[in-house]
Amino acid sequence: MGYHYRARYECILFFEKGKRKLHNLGIADILEAPRISGGYPAEKPVVVSQTLITQSTEPGALVIDPFMGSGSVGVAAVTSGRMFAGNDLCLEAVDITRDRLRGAGAIELIAGAAAPVDSISQGQLGLAGPAGGGAG
């Protein structure tokens, strides 16, 4: 009832398949970055994702974010030389992510052929909209 302490941290869930090599064992278990204000709801700083991605993957690896929101993980992945696959039920989030990835110089690979992100329809990007929303 009433007052609660203000959270100064957020937990990160990090999943992996098999054993992975960490590139920098000196990274602490607390990553500090300024909050994003005025952006997409609950938007995370790109630098946090970049730290985790570059520390635990090789260039060219696939990074997946099934709840991509504003696309911060995708931007971190492509600017770090990784591939990115993402999904979100919110069409606004899909559009925001598409714009951010385009701004980061991303290209979309479809059946082995590369094309600029802006020349591909939403369905071809594999980004899902709400049921009956016509995302395909």
Is pLDDT at 123 greater than 60 in this prediction?
A: no
Give CA angle at 38 (35, 39), nearest 5°: 80
List the structure tokens of 123: 């369905």
- Round the average pLDDT of the chain to a whole number and report it: 75
> Alpha helices of 5-64 — where are they, by DSSP H?
46-56
Domain boundaries 48-125, CATH class: alpha beta
Question: Who has greater pLDDT, 36 or 114?
Answer: 36
Directed axis angle between helix 72-79 and helix 46-56, to 10°?
50
In degrees, to the nearest 5, what angle opens at C-alpha 66 toward C-alphas 62 and 69?
110
Task: Provide the pLDDT confidence category of residue 48 given band limits of 50, 70 and 90.
Answer: very high
Task: Look at residue 101 and tell me whether its pLDDT is greater than 60.
Answer: yes
pTM: 0.71
